[in-house]
Amino acid sequence: MSNNSNDTIFIGKKPLMTYVTSTIVQLATKPSVTIKARGLTTSTAIDVSQIVLKKTKPAFEISNVSINSESLVSTDGRNRDVSAIEITIARKNS
């Protein structure tokens, strides 16, 4: 799997359906798309992946899920561990 920014959706503060639409548009031309999120947006990434799978059933599946922690420096200069998730959705092999 390539990790080009073209096949990666970064979850932020936009409405949920914005990310669902972006993911479906990317999947129309790419074999797989990775949804990435960290911190409070991890639950949004999970919601996006599940909505995409339900809307595109049975053409796509979750091919990989990676959960980890990233160490970031906060605005007050302290190190903080932040949860991160990567969900890869790929075309099913028939």
Provide the residue ranges of all domains of the chain, joining segments of one domain with +. 5-91
Residues near 77 by Cβ (< 8 Å), separated by ≥ 6? none
12-50 pLDDT per residue, tens: 999 999 999 999 999 999 999 999 999 999 999 999 999
DSSP string, 53-72: HHHHTTSEEEEEEEEEEEEE
61-70 pLDDT per residue, tens: 999 999 999 9
Q: Please tell me the pTM assigned to this model.
A: 0.89
Q: How confident is the model at residue 93 (pLDDT cuts 50, 70, 90)?
A: confident
69-89 pLDDT per residue, tens: 999 998 999 999 999 999 999
Q: Are 39 and 7 in contact, with CB atoms under 8 Å apart?
A: no
**Sign of the CA dihedral running 58, 60, 66, 72:** negative
User: Which CATH class name applies to 5-91?
Assistant: alpha beta
**pLDDT at res. 14:** 97
